[in-house]
Chain A
Amino acid sequence: MKFSVTVTLKKDVLDPQGKVVENTLVNMGMNNLKNIRQGKYFQIEVDDNDQITAEKKIDEMCKKLLVNLIIEDYKINKI
């Protein structure tokens, strides 16, 4: 079973990389650009047939290593 995990900085945490990317796109003439936040993406495959158990495992992985809960939020999706 395959899952994706998207990790993004929390709303209040400054994202200087995202800001620089945003400014560059504006400079390139991309109008109507409101805001860019940069994040991380993981694709995880687990050996499980039960989706709930598998999601629990992925959630544990996120909490224990993949995500720094002080500054980051995450979303798990089945793919």
Chain B
Amino acid sequence: MRSTVIVFPGSNCDRDIAVALEKMQFKNQMVWHKETKLPKSDLIVLPGGFSYGDYLRSGAIAGKSLIIDEVIKAANSGCLILGICNGFQILTETGLLKGTLLRNKNLRFINKNVCIKVMNNNTRFSSKYKKNQILKINIAHNEGNYFTDSKHLDKLNKENLIAFKYCDEKGNINQESNPNGSLENIAGILNTKRNILGMMPHPERMIDEIISNKDGINLFSSLLN
């Protein structure tokens, strides 16, 4: 499986995701944002970080970079797209995913391991997880408070497009287990065609027992499936 990681000025999880992909036997390439052509890819990853220093709005400038036109074309032709953290913010700024990520409700940058629940395991990104499985995954963001209009929220619920929700260790989804004020505890969403996933938590940080845990591994093995 061929993967491509797009690198923006200010990306800082690009190496981490590359290590994760290579560990999982993806043939990975890094592509600088000024490129105008993408190598043949089955998966394109927009990594975490602070592209362009979060100027204007998180992901706003990266969302208009040269390579993004190619990413949009690839997405429209069915290529799998994964946006993690800043990558999720970029996906909403390009319009590939609807909604937006507001500043955390408590106005603080949050860096901690939180629990998320697999809401839909019938996707290319999550088939190796069990439905309602609870994962412990790191979040590290200042703007992770997902917001969308009520019409789109209905659609997300009706079409089962919410991939992950924040929960506590027992799986309860409520205000107490919501770290950032996100609408309905949403941690990750899919587009209608389900070939695009945007998520705030960092699965690439959870691939090794020595430094964290292995809760992120199945996201990558799902993609290989």
Chain B nearest CB from A71 CB (Å) reads: 6
Q: Are B102 and A13 in contact (CB under 8 A)?
A: yes
Question: Do residues B105 and A68 form an inter-chain contact, with CB atoms below 8 A?
Answer: no
**CB distance A66 to B107 under 8 Å?**
no
Query: Would A14 and B107 count as touching, CB distance under 8 A?
Result: no
Name A's interface SS.
helix
Q: Which A residue sits closest to B147, measured CB to CB? A: A71
A16: contacting residue among B56, B57, B103, B148, CB under 8 A: B103
The verdict on B149 contacting chain A, using a C-beta distance below 8 Å, is: yes
Interface of A toward B, CB cutoff 8 Å: 13-14, 16-17, 20, 64-66, 68, 70-71
Contact A17 B60 (CB under 8 A): no
Q: How many residues of B contact A (CB 8 A)?
A: 17
A-B contacts, 5 listed (Cβ < 8 Å): A14-B105, A14-B181, A68-B57, A70-B99, A70-B147
Q: Which residues in A have their C-beta under 8 angstroms from that of B105?
A: 14, 16
How far apart are the CA atoms of A65 and B60 in the complex, in Å? 7
Inter-chain contact B103/A68, CB cutoff 8 Å: no
A68–B64 CB distance below 8 A: no
| In the complex, chain B residues 90-104 whose Cβ is within 8 Å of any chain A Cβ | 93, 98-100, 102-103
Distance in Å: Cβ of B127 to nearest Cβ of chain A: 31
Q: By the criterion CB–CB under 8 Å, are B56 and A66 in contact?
A: yes
Whether A68 and B107, one on each chain, are in contact in the complex, defined by CB atoms closer than 8 angstroms, is no
Nearest CB of B to A19, in Å: 9
CA distance A65 to B59 in the complex (A): 11
Q: Complex: how many Å from CA A3 to CA B106?
A: 34
Complex contacts, A64 vs chain B, CB 8 Å: 64
Partner of A68 from the list B60, B106, B149 (CB cut-off 8 Å) is: B60
* Bound complex: CA A4 to CA B105 (Å): 29
Contacts of B57 in A (CB 8 A): 68
Report the bound CA distance from A71 to B98 in whole Å: 12
Give Cα distance in the complex from A64 to B95, angstroms. 11
